Structure 1
């Protein structure tokens, strides 16, 4: 697989990061300890490089109608300045990717797919755009994405935003975005700031040209020095999103799965009048009770012992396999093992006692409602 490097690679090396391959990108796994980075995000703030994610602009008179057709959600109903979590599905209802779309104008959207799927999603959108007056432009290669996540994220951002624009930041709602001035090396730059994230904490994601990424990274670290901000890698991002019950493509979501089994039925808009790719299959899956009365359903599992289940470990009921773990590890915040798993629907109710086969030993777990962790307001 070809190795890609973000515009911040040298910054990570200087900070002593350990690297790992993720979706074909060399990304920081951790800088010091994943535990300290995890706790920093929960207690103060962490700084993440998410520049491996994709960015695809969809523009033109038919942009809204086109995305209604290309994606499972009703993107035409999104107000300008807001964002929506959605899915891009195959004709058979399988999930190609989950993504966030930001409406930046009446005829302008920014679609953000996952790292390993960015090119696939861009190609699928381009193919599906045939017959629509809409342009699809993949700008992933020239765009960096930096996230500040944690309870001190807002205070850190305000240190770099001109005073007259502070209310733009403080008033920004979750799943909304604005253009705001951010001071980098003494110069105020207008950048796209979104109140989104993948950690279960308050936070922001900032889109910037690659040429500005290193200076922006350094400015954020300097602004956050008195607020407990530290750089954070993919290891703690995974433990944070698992505690927050957020699915990861390739673990909880795949082309072989479907939105209803994954608990993402509400993301699929069967109420919209227009046709969309996968609609017929998804209607049939819903009518058949996928994820509710038939098949398997994604659930949370709380460990009753000390040992954690891991991806692909079998889930047992009375010694019989009834499911499979998709993600699992000890929860640094909660102090016990947690896992997400697909289990047969008849064993999916909260309170159900199940076991995870930990290499031949049955370890007790209990089905619980997701998320495992929810931040206080």
Structure 2
């Protein structure tokens, strides 16, 4: 909560437990998307507006079968069809696509199974008007019915405008079942595609099965917090009498992870260094890939002789394939929360997995597999309560996105990693992507590489995908008051068309996030930050302060953006962006201002262009609706080639931003550092904004700082990166927050959080490696930013 006085009584929070009582189900309806549910007679439904101003359109059908044609039946919910729904009809026709598990292909598959027609004349509309976050409508099913709930967007296509509109945002649907099924019968998540086979692995048992090359294996934790060991063998090698199964040491070696750690490898190999399977999806993120499946000896040494084990269960299941019995099996310990501590000792803790969590693998050879439902009930491995595992095998012709699950917070629903609007173009230039806050972003590009990308930014121009930045529309008469309270800057001085860089802080002075505020009108603002929690923070703050006439609406899925940076960026964009007479041209935009125009002339693609960036160079950001992403990239890329433009990946960006002294979340700042400690004290308008959250604590901390951010120049060739300790003599007096080899300075540099007593320019320190004592690199405190410290380049 926002303040200590309003905080609820604390309680023990446990991982993996069901969030709702038996018989209560929760479904997230993504903004612009839909879910389809089967309701039984007597079931009660609550439709909840999570962010405000989000209508819900409803279509209902009497249950039918595929090919029979279900008939509309809104009356089963006591509703009347009143208006058209372009969104639901696009969904019914299969025109809305998404890889998220609550929309797109799975909804379409559900429609086909239920025999629902490809169009509907009229739908009911709920939660219309200026609803508040948390407003809800209750419905009751009078008879069995199939229902589509759609979070409708504005206009006929459901798309938000780039200059700020009312974006489609998420709804929650809570189903209270009239008949409560036992926990053991908890429903499985929807099928992902066309099934070949499925198997139930009962608690404390194991199951063997065969999978053909190219097929997919989905291993599901049915009730949550249940470990499932997985083993597999090359089936063709077995036919020739050779055992070639998972070898975890080989896997770690080939994937460059010589030290064990929690999580999954991208591929798993046998002793011959041949790949057996690859990981496609993981909704948990916490697994053990370095231990054996549990063994009889493990239980015997703990005082439980005769206790059933996964290894013995595997012995019994695999005996028929000619595999020799073993006291312990190399296995992937799925959903098993173990790690290695600072003393290199293996430890375990409560599992993270929740009901319905899964791992999706793809077989890279014909495989003989076995999966267990671990019987361990003597420690926290299975939360002291072994339960079932479910295995599904999908046909090879299915196509599944590669993804992990991203959660904004422990209570938030997971979302699978998604592609940005520009992925079609960036993926044609590289296969080296990394997951960043729920999106795939390129690390580096083929042929050129980070060094060339870096020099293009310094000397010519680059284009980079920054779509994962979280965007929130802050709308209404109380919007300015809310941002004045939330931000350390004086938002009241912000003019229309202007942007300001600011921080948001907790009451104790630690930072929530940094970001920019755009003023699009008298009552329309846009917050752009790195963390999705920023939107929730603003909504909670509005509620606490009684600001009823403000809405904070998530717009990340409606606005994707490219950064165009470098000395030639203005020359590129001024040729392709048309602006109306009432708006400044691109070459007229001042630093930290924006304009609204179109690419391709008067009838072209709508874009918002801001003179902002994260490179320390002259630069811009171009925002567009995702449906226009490819066309926007193509226009910028075509003009950029005349000026030597290259694409920029995260590796090169890191060098640029460190040289420019630009901070990064969880490196230079976190919830324990205030803006002054993070090196962005200039964002604190102490005399212009007496209202912002954390002001008193921040000013008190400023008078007695624990640390300050400084720049270091380092002797030696080794890059000293995030987490390296900084010493004077034996004592540690600081820590490196970010470091790199500076191409333009031709030396190693770092940003460092240091004790104020050692922050003076010229102070000699040492950076420790290994244990911090045996290996040291001399360094000295220098002025930062290292590159263009007066920021003449971005101002040019």
TM-score normalised per structure 1: 0.93
Which residue, out of 723, 731, 736, partners 1:320? 731
Change in 2 beyond 3 A, CA 1:273/1:347: closer
- Residue aligned with 2:427, SS: helix
- Contact kept, 8 Å, 1:314 with 1:321, in 2: the verdict is yes
Q: Give the whole-Å Cα distance in 2 for the aligned partners of 1:45 and 1:202.
A: 9
* 2:585 alignment partner, SS class: helix
Q: Distance in 1 between matches of 2:683 and 2:430?
A: 40
| Aligned position for 1:232 | 648
1:366 and 2:780 matched: yes
Q: What SS does structure 2 have at the residue aligned with 1:330?
A: strand
Q: Which residue of 1 aligns with 2:473?
A: 57
> Is the CA contact (8 Å cut-off) linking 1:296 and 1:345 kept in structure 2?
yes
The residue aligned with 2:110 is: none
Q: Is the 8 A contact 1:327 1:341 kept in 2?
A: yes
Contact 2:475 2:523 in 1 (8 A): yes
Comparing both chains, which one has the higher relative contact order based on Cα–Cα distances under 8 Å and sequence gaps of 6 or more?
Answer: 1
Which of 661, 680, 683 is the equivalent residue of 1:264? Answer: 680
**Aligned residue number for residue 173 of structure 2:** none
User: What RMSD over aligned residues (CA atoms) do the two structures have, in Å?
Assistant: 1.8
Deviation at 1:176, TM superposition (A): 0.5
Q: Give the deviation of 1:164 after TM superposition.
A: 7.8
Write 1 or 2 for the structure with the bigger share of strand. Answer: 1
Instruction: Indicate the residue corresponding to 2:540 in structure 1.
Output: 127
Choose from 173, 182, 188 the match for 2:604: 188
3-state SS in 1 of match to 2:678: coil
| Structure 2 Cα separation of the partners of residues 178 and 99 of structure 1 | 19
- Paired residue for 2:456, among 37, 40, 46? 40
Q: Tell me the distance in 1 between the aligned counterparts of 2:561 and 2:422.
A: 10
CA deviation profile, 1:130-153 (whole Å, cap 9, x unmatched): 222211111111211111000000
The Cα offsets for residues 6-64 of structure 1, whole Å up to 9 and x where unpaired, read as 12222221112410122232110111311111111111011000111111111111211
Distance 1:164 1:51 in 2: 26
How many residues of Structure 1 are paired with residues of Structure 2 in the alignment?
368
| Aligned match of 1:68 | 484
Distance 2:787 2:455 in 1: 13
Mean Cα displacement is larger for which, 277-286 or 89-98? 277-286
Asked if the contact 1:301–1:338 (Cα under 8 Å) also holds between the matched residues in 2, the reply is yes
CA distance in 1, matches of 2:603, 2:651: 33
1:14 partnered with 2:428: yes
Aligned to 2:587: 170
Whether contact under 8 Å (1:301, 1:366) holds in the other structure is yes
Q: Tell whether 2:660 aligns with 1:244.
A: yes
- Higher mean C-alpha displacement, 341-350 vs 122-131: 122-131
Per-residue CA deviations over 1:301-324 (Å, capped at 9, x if unaligned) read 012332221110000112321100
1:214 and 2:627 aligned: no
After alignment, is 24-33 or 186-195 more displaced? 186-195
Quickly say closer, same or farther: Cα 1:77–1:352, change in 2 above 3 A: same
Per-residue Cα deviation, 1:275-301 (whole angstroms, up to 9, x for no partner): 322123223223x422xxxx1111000
Tell whether 2:748 aligns with 1:337: yes
Question: 1:273-288 alignment to 2 at 5 Å?
Answer: 274-286=690-702, 288=703
**1:108 CA displacement:** 1.1
1:4 shift after superposition:
2.6
Contact 1:68 1:274 in 2 (8 A): no
Distance 1:51 1:362 in 2: 39
**Equivalent pair of 2:484/2:689 in contact (CA under 8 Å):** no
Tell me the equivalent position of 1:299.
710
Residue in structure 2 matched with residue 289 of structure 1 by the alignment: 704
Shift of 1:88: 1.0
Report the secondary structure of 1:42's partner residue: helix
Structure with the higher helix share, 1 or 2: 1
Distance in 2, matches of 1:65 and 1:315, equals 42
Cα deviation 1:101-153 (Å, max 9, x = unaligned): 01111111111011xx12x0011111112222211111111211111000000
Alpha-carbon shift at residue 215 of structure 1 (Å)? 1.0
State how far apart, in whole Å, the 1-side matches of 2:431 and 2:576 are.
25
- For residues 424 and 572 of structure 2, what CA distance do their matches in structure 1 show? 23
1:124–1:164 Cα change, 3 Å:
closer
Does the residue aligned with 1:34 lie in a helix, a strand or coil? helix
Please say which structure displays the higher CA radius of gyration.
2
Q: Which runs of 5+ in 1 are unaligned?
A: none
Q: Distance in 2 between matches of 1:181 and 1:21?
A: 31
Deviates more, 1:327-336 or 1:354-363: 354-363
- The separation in 2 between residues aligned to 1:5 and 1:272, in whole angstroms, is 41
Question: Does structure 1 conserve the Cα–Cα contact (< 8 Å) formed by 2:578 and 2:585?
Answer: no
Report the counterpart of residue 526 of structure 2 in structure 1. 110
CA distance in 1, matches of 2:672, 2:690: 25
| TM-score, L = length of structure 2 | 0.45
